[in-house]
Structure 1
């Protein structure tokens, strides 16, 4: 088995052609300038240095990519942003706990709770009677939680809104800090750009 490797001026492997030893003599004529090595290779694991196939060192973190010009792993700002955004979005979908019960806490739940506060407040202030079936909320286990008064229901909804808002603020601030300076040695896009 032989592998022919086409690479750029920085040693980045652009294309490979793996053939049998018998076919190699034919390929040598047509692939002039390509590096020839024994065996098959994974092009993501190697680069070319001084005309020789060189194995990349282990990737230090998922936020790094290999810089072929420098021949080393470097922080990739786009990978940092992707990781920070994915982590932020995952945390924003997590449930919140109020009085021992868990509740969905995504944007839809927040908007619904805010709308319910306005609706129930308006109807209550207008003197309209609210049926007990209207004073309920579904928890994270799809169980219906009923409230015996408008005031208890409004207190619950306001707690839910406050908890979702608090959690969202913490998650967003944490993501922003990670992108713009970080804490405790975390990677930072701005620190990367200043180097």
Structure 2
């Protein structure tokens, strides 16, 4: 995906510390202090323009959400959504997913959402896939026991790889859909990519997996 550079993005991010947390490491182990209410925390790794995480926060005020996005030229779109929605249970982090353990402690997070992650199809790039074993270990380090990963993609190869990666790691496969939009699954909130891909006729794959200790 080619990103259009927005030279003003960094300045805009700095203007809204109430929405994009400037020093997330300060909340490690105490994220409840960043929100209006002390309630379960779900994070989305690779939030993009923020449609999914914003709509989830609207639909579930009893849960706190954090959207994580590396690219400042992308996260400003999510910031605009949050400014408009003024949700007390949603924050954003402009950080690299590889550094999650710097910002979150064990038991901070109950669920991780991975939506339409970069498939990195070349074998030499396997370690960059967000469902690679090293990332699964990283998520486990910040989650409560029995924490879950909810994963969606339109890429069949990435989905098959991810199912094998989850199984090899010892995760419990709770739910699998090979054609989400033609299933009886209720409460699906689409991402921007999901809407675009499904309109092209692409099948959407989804699964839920759970850490077993």
Q: TM-score, normalised by structure 2?
A: 0.21
Work out which structure has the larger RCO, using CA pairs closer than 8 Å and 6 or more positions apart in sequence. 2
The structure that has the greater radius of gyration is: 1
